[in-house]
Amino acid sequence: MRPMIQTEPTQLTYRWIMHFEEGNKDLKQLLGGKGANLAEMTRAGLAVPPGFTITTEACRAYYQGHQLPEGLLDEMKQSMTELEQKKDQRFGDPTAPLLISVRSGSVNSMPGMMDTILNLGLNDETVKGLAELSGNERFALDCYRRFIQMFSNVVFGVEGVYFEKILRTMKQSRKVETDQQLTAQDLAELIVSYKNVVKTNAGKPFPQDVQEQLLLAVEAVFRSWNNHRAIIYRRLHAIPDEQGTAVNIQSMVFGNLGDDCGTGVLFTRNPSTGERKLFGEYLTNAQGEDVVAGVRTPKAISEMEVEMPEIYKLLSETAAQLEAHYRDVQDIEFTIEKNRLYMLQTRNAKRTAQAAVKTAVDFVNEDMITKAEAIERLDTAHLNQLLHPSIDPSITLNVLATGLPASPGAASGQIVFDADTAESWSKKQGKVILVRSETTPEDIHGVIVAQGILTSHGGMTSHAAVVARGMGKPCVCGCEAAEVDDELKQLSINGRTYQEGDWISIDGATGRVIDGKVELTDVNLSDELLTVLSWADEIRSMKIYTNADHPEDARKAREFGAEGIGLCRTEHMFFGHDRLPVVQAMILAENLRDRLEALDRLLPMQQSDFEGLFKAMDGYPVTVRLLDPPLHEFLPNLDELNEQMADFLKNGREQSNDANKLRTLIKKVRSLHEVNPMLGQRGCRLGILYPEIYDMQIRALFQAAVISIHKGVEVIPHIMIPLVGHYTELKFFHERITSMALEIFTAAGVECDYEIGTMIEVPRAALTAEKLVPYADFFSYGTNDLTQMTFGYSRDDAEGKFLTYYVDQKVLPNNPFQVLDRDGVGQLVDLATQKGKKLKPTLQAGVCGEHGGDPESIMYCQEIGLDYVSCSPYRVPLARIAAAQAKLAADRRHSNCNLS
Ligand code: PEP
Ligand code: MG
């Protein structure tokens, strides 16, 4: 609960507002990140312009009641009076005008997604007062015209282009390049035109009453919580819709009062690389939005050391103080007004995954945090970008230009010039690079689907850069050599012109823009990441296996730290061009003899596959799942076959040998047709109907084991049966496997330990787990099928048909094929594990469905005491970290329990 605050002399009880002096960093839920940190800085005695925060609770009440909550107006009035006293200025008074900023501030940082208004309190009268007091008419008019634009855009929805067009025309007619070159007279004319734009487009005049301005602004910031881009961003980052935003009202300081003024953004360490060095950008004689909006290209912070040495020194000291206080990299906004430094914001910096890992390691080495804290801080979804490909340094590239290396990773794609096209092309054509002169938060849906982003304007802290880094997308920004015509959909760079659809590549680590498509190379784990992973390994208790079907995948997974293969889908070995004809011959065989003959041909191939896996996993378990999919998947598509037959008919060749063969094939494909193949003749059902198929696989596995043992490889075969629903199915194979192993080992005179397990993919198997235990050394939860069968959703259709809609409409909290459904599917996993381990404490239990690589699901696996998860090779490093985080969370829960 928020504290209740009494104020003098009115005794007004604040319910919806908290002043900066009263809050602190721990009140983020109530004050939003920005408000909480402004309060913390104020309390630490830093120069923060005074102000107050309207709480997220007020925002939630606004959405519930569809109007500003009762009492808020009085509290705002009272708070403004206090602010007037602190600043010795008055809101709306031309003789000493108080000007304020009105900024959104959500609990989780959502950069640029909601609205902000600066210079509120200006009108036709106060602007004169500001001119007089500052002794700078041009400055006052400049503030006013910016305010009109910003306010009208945020409050009335008047598009920025209307104002920008007038500004451009004015600059052309005055024959000047920059805004700063416009005179006071020019700005006064602009203001008249701007007000006309507002009247025409908003249908009402620009409000002159400052109280009205304030109310409209607060409401508009509340509303901006639900604008399109904010909603998309929340979905992407799993931020709850109900949270709401706080609104920060703060007295203005001016970075645009002259050359002894400025504004900037500073990171205490490089957010791209993690290097321990101040990193940032600033502009002299400018207001805050100029830096982040990417309109003017800012100067590097290092230049400030020369240009404003005193300020630079103070700024560096403050940065160090803030970093030590928060024990994390800070992203700081500051303004210099007449040589005085003010802090406007500090927050934990968004950074690339590379920087996140490096700073985590550095902080541990600098004794700022513990190893466990370092692991807990890592965002596994974010670390994904470290597993992104890069450009092979040995390739000769046609580098067109170099921009700012804003977010690492390399990408190739077809050029698109707007977010909507990015979205539609990425669905149809695949890979796109979003090329813009600069991105705005409205482009977020394009940024999400693009392989990478290239902008011609904007610095390292521009919107494009911040958003791309957060998402782990390669991004090159501020590439001034690239001329982007957003309207003509054309990119001119280094004498070449590219149209929509042309291929281009970018390297977000170096800033290079490269002609055409380039081959991307594999991922190399940095020393820092290896360090963090080794800490994760010290902490975690669950094993991390991999899903791998080929030796190359297995090798990659081992490099990434996999401790075994948790699932080898043997059917994937059947699809190779040398295998498929034999597999088809096996399926089309008219009798057992023909089928056995085809299986005999398959056996050596399958055996060499297994030898490859054993070699790659030397000393680690290799879990082989016997054939799972329905057989028709190996045969050609019926429609295509019918078309071929139609061709024979057309050419009068319907009696030819080939046509007869085709007819037999069509008949077989038809006979294998099932209405619900996923519930049909697949998995162990197939193995029971055609035991010779599974026999071949079992034989191949043990023969491969024997040969590998002879070669000095340490083999640990695990063999598992898919889609078991009744214990008799498992028992059937248990007997066959043990007797075949005995036969092969006896003949070879060598042997090894092996394990037999069952997949649990059918709810009945989970419910009757105790009956399976006598025949199983391990339970491997195939949570893809288990989700399909528990929900009754077809996994091949649901996502394309209704599941996305379900998630959008919040019918379901998330896609259960991605995040394990704890209540239903999870309950089955939990139940089966408990039953199994009760009867056989040595029973190993793990997940090998897609959920095995999902951090939230891994958390659940730890909670219910699973022994391992298995995921695709590229997810192994993340799973190692997620498993360590899960263990730390479990330990914390445990120690909380012990304390209470
Ligand atoms: C599963 O069902 O979770 C599983 C791993 O098997 P597959 O995805 O191959 O059906
Ligand atoms: Mg399955």
User: Are 463 and 450 in the same domain?
Assistant: yes
Ligand nearest to the CA of 848: 1
Measured CA to CA in angstroms, residue 152 lies from 126, 199, 519 at distances of 18, 10, 47
Ligand nearest to the CA of 723: 2
Choose between 20 and 380: higher pLDDT.
20
The mean pLDDT value for 811-830 works out to 95
Give 173-181 contacts, CB < 8 A, sequence gap 24+: 178/296, 179/142, 180/285
Measured CA to CA in angstroms, residue 78 lies from 58, 81, 152, 213, 249 at distances of 16, 5, 26, 16, 13
Choose from 297-301, 416-420, 651-655, 712-716 the range with maximum mean pLDDT: 712-716
Residue ending a domain, choose from 326, 351, 376? 351
Q: Is residue 281 a contact partner of residue 298, using CB atoms and an 8 Å limit?
A: yes
Choose between 821 and 552: higher pLDDT.
821
Counting Cβ atoms within 10 Å, is residue 77 exposed (0-12), middle (13-18) or buried (19+)? middle
Residue ending a domain, choose from 212, 228, 251? 251
What residues contact residue 422 under an 8 Å CB cut-off, 6+ apart?
A: 416, 432, 434, 445, 446, 447, 449, 450
DSSP 277: S
CA distance 354 to 525: 10
Residue 896 in any domain: the answer is no
Mutation choice for ligand 1 from 848, 854, 868, CB with most ligand atoms inside 8 A: 848
Mutation choice for ligand 1 from 633, 682, 684, 761, CB with most ligand atoms inside 8 A: 761
681 C-alpha to ligand 2 centroid (Å): 13
Q: Is 549 in the pocket of ligand 1 (CB under 6 A)?
A: no
User: Are 177 and 238 in the same domain?
Assistant: yes
Bridge partners (DSSP) listed for residue 103 = 116, 248
User: Which pLDDT score is estimated for 447?
Assistant: 87
pLDDT in tens, 836-878: 999 999 999 999 998 999 999 999 999 999 999 999 888 899 9
Closest ligand 1 atom to the C-alpha of 788? 2
Q: Is residue 150 a contact partner of residue 118, using CB atoms and an 8 Å limit?
A: yes
Structure-block tokens of residue 74:
């009085």
Structure-block tokens of residue 368:
């700022």
761 C-alpha to ligand 2 centroid (Å): 6
Q: How confident is the model at residue 7 (pLDDT cuts 50, 70, 90)?
A: very low
Q: Is 853 in the pocket of ligand 1 (CB under 6 A)?
A: no
Mutation choice for ligand 1 from 569, 571, 684, CB with most ligand atoms inside 8 A: 569
Domain count, the chain: 5
User: Are 52 and 145 in the same domain?
Assistant: yes
pLDDT in tens, 561-589: 999 999 999 988 887 777 888 999 999 89
Q: How many CA atoms does the CB half-sphere of 296 hold within 13 Å?
A: 20
User: Which pLDDT score is estimated for 894?
Assistant: 86
CA distance 160 to 141: 18
User: Which pLDDT score is estimated for 3?
Assistant: 42
Q: Is 761 in the pocket of ligand 1 (CB under 6 A)?
A: yes
Q: Is residue 104 a contact partner of residue 154, using CB atoms and an 8 Å limit?
A: no
Q: Is residue 580 a contact partner of residue 634, using CB atoms and an 8 Å limit?
A: yes
User: Are 510 and 578 in the same domain?
Assistant: no
Domain carrying residue 174: 4-251
The mean pLDDT value for 590-597 works out to 94
User: Which pLDDT score is estimated for 890?
Assistant: 96
Cα 295-297-301 angle, rounded to 5 deg: 130
Q: Is 569 in the pocket of ligand 1 (CB under 6 A)?
A: yes
pLDDT of 393 over the 80 cut? no
CATH number at residue 685: 3.20.20.60
Collapsing DSSP states into helix, strand and coil, what is residue 54? Answer: strand
User: Are 574 and 587 in the same domain?
Assistant: yes
Pick the residue whose CA is nearest to atom 8 on ligand 1.
Answer: 784
CA distance 402 to 404: 7
Pick the residue whose CA is nearest to atom 1 on ligand 1.
Answer: 782
211 C-alpha to ligand 1 centroid (Å): 62
User: Are 610 and 487 in the same domain?
Assistant: no
Q: Is 783 in the pocket of ligand 1 (CB under 6 A)?
A: yes
Q: Is the dihedral of CA 125, 130, 133, 136 positive or negative?
A: negative
User: Which pLDDT score is estimated for 13?
Assistant: 81
Q: Is 571 in the pocket of ligand 1 (CB under 6 A)?
A: no
Mutation choice for ligand 1 from 570, 759, 785, 817, CB with most ligand atoms inside 8 A: 785
Length of the chain: 900
CATH number at residue 431: 3.50.30.10
The mean pLDDT value for 256-285 works out to 92
pLDDT of 292 over the 70 cut? no
Q: Is 768 in the pocket of ligand 1 (CB under 6 A)?
A: no
CA distance 442 to 508: 22
User: Which pLDDT score is estimated for 547?
Assistant: 93
Residue 102 in any domain: the answer is yes
Residue 551 in any domain: the answer is yes
Closest ligand 1 atom to the C-alpha of 781? 3
Cα radius of gyration rounded to whole Å, the chain = 33
Closest ligand 1 atom to the C-alpha of 780? 5
Q: How confident is the model at residue 1 (pLDDT cuts 50, 70, 90)?
A: very low
Q: Among candidates 637, 645, 633, which has minimal Cα distance to 583?
A: 633
CATH number at residue 36: 3.30.1490.20
Averaged confidence pLDDT in the chain: 92
User: Which pLDDT score is estimated for 900?
Assistant: 56
388 C-alpha to ligand 1 centroid (Å): 25
User: Are 426 and 551 in the same domain?
Assistant: no
772 C-alpha to ligand 2 centroid (Å): 17
User: Are 210 and 141 in the same domain?
Assistant: yes
User: Which pLDDT score is estimated for 109?
Assistant: 83
Pick the residue whose CA is nearest to atom 6 on ligand 1.
Answer: 782
User: Which pLDDT score is estimated for 580?
Assistant: 86
CATH number at residue 280: 3.30.470.20
Residue 202 in any domain: the answer is yes
User: Which pLDDT score is estimated for 788?
Assistant: 94
Pick the residue whose CA is nearest to atom 3 on ligand 1.
Answer: 782
Q: Is 567 in the pocket of ligand 1 (CB under 6 A)?
A: yes
569 C-alpha to ligand 2 centroid (Å): 9
pLDDT of 126 over the 50 cut? yes
Q: Is 820 in the pocket of ligand 1 (CB under 6 A)?
A: no
| Total-model pTM | 0.78
pLDDT in tens, 496-550: 999 999 999 999 878 899 999 998 877 778 999 999 999 999 999 999 999 999 8
User: Are 493 and 549 in the same domain?
Assistant: no
Residue 687 in any domain: the answer is yes
Q: How many CA atoms does the CB half-sphere of 718 hold within 13 Å?
A: 25
User: Are 231 and 266 in the same domain?
Assistant: no
User: Which pLDDT score is estimated for 874?
Assistant: 81
Choose between 457 and 704: higher pLDDT.
704
Residue 862 in any domain: the answer is yes
Closest ligand 1 atom to the C-alpha of 785? 2
Mutation choice for ligand 1 from 546, 571, 628, CB with most ligand atoms inside 8 A: 628
Q: Is 328 in the pocket of ligand 1 (CB under 6 A)?
A: no
Residue 888 in any domain: the answer is no
Q: Is 848 in the pocket of ligand 1 (CB under 6 A)?
A: yes
pLDDT of 466 over the 80 cut? no
793 C-alpha to ligand 2 centroid (Å): 14
Kindly write down the DSSP assignment for every residue of 658-708, as one continuous string: HHHHHHHHHHHHHHH--SSGGGSS-THHHHHHSHHHHHHHHHHHHHHHHHH
535 C-alpha to ligand 2 centroid (Å): 33
592 C-alpha to ligand 2 centroid (Å): 27
Q: What are phi and psi of 349, to 5 degrees?
A: -75, 140
pLDDT in tens, 78-114: 999 999 999 999 999 999 999 999 999 999 988 778 8
User: Which pLDDT score is estimated for 9?
Assistant: 47
603 C-alpha to ligand 2 centroid (Å): 23
Active site residues per annotation: 463, 848
User: Are 717 and 842 in the same domain?
Assistant: no
User: Are 700 and 622 in the same domain?
Assistant: yes
The mean pLDDT value for 220-237 works out to 89
Q: How confident is the model at residue 298 (pLDDT cuts 50, 70, 90)?
A: confident
Structure-block tokens of residue 850:
């897609």
User: Which pLDDT score is estimated for 256?
Assistant: 84
Structure-block tokens of residue 377:
């801080």
Choose between 394 and 243: higher pLDDT.
243
Q: Is residue 869 a contact partner of residue 853, using CB atoms and an 8 Å limit?
A: yes
pLDDT of 315 over the 60 cut? yes
The mean pLDDT value for 225-249 works out to 90
Q: Is 544 in the pocket of ligand 1 (CB under 6 A)?
A: no
CA distance 389 to 14: 53
Q: Is 736 in the pocket of ligand 1 (CB under 6 A)?
A: no
Residue 637 in any domain: the answer is no
pLDDT of 899 over the 70 cut? no
Residue ending a domain, choose from 251, 281, 311? 251
User: Which pLDDT score is estimated for 460?
Assistant: 65
The mean pLDDT value for 3-31 works out to 78
pLDDT of 787 over the 80 cut? yes
What residues contact residue 854 under an 8 Å CB cut-off, 6+ apart?
A: 818, 819, 820
pLDDT of 6 over the 70 cut? no
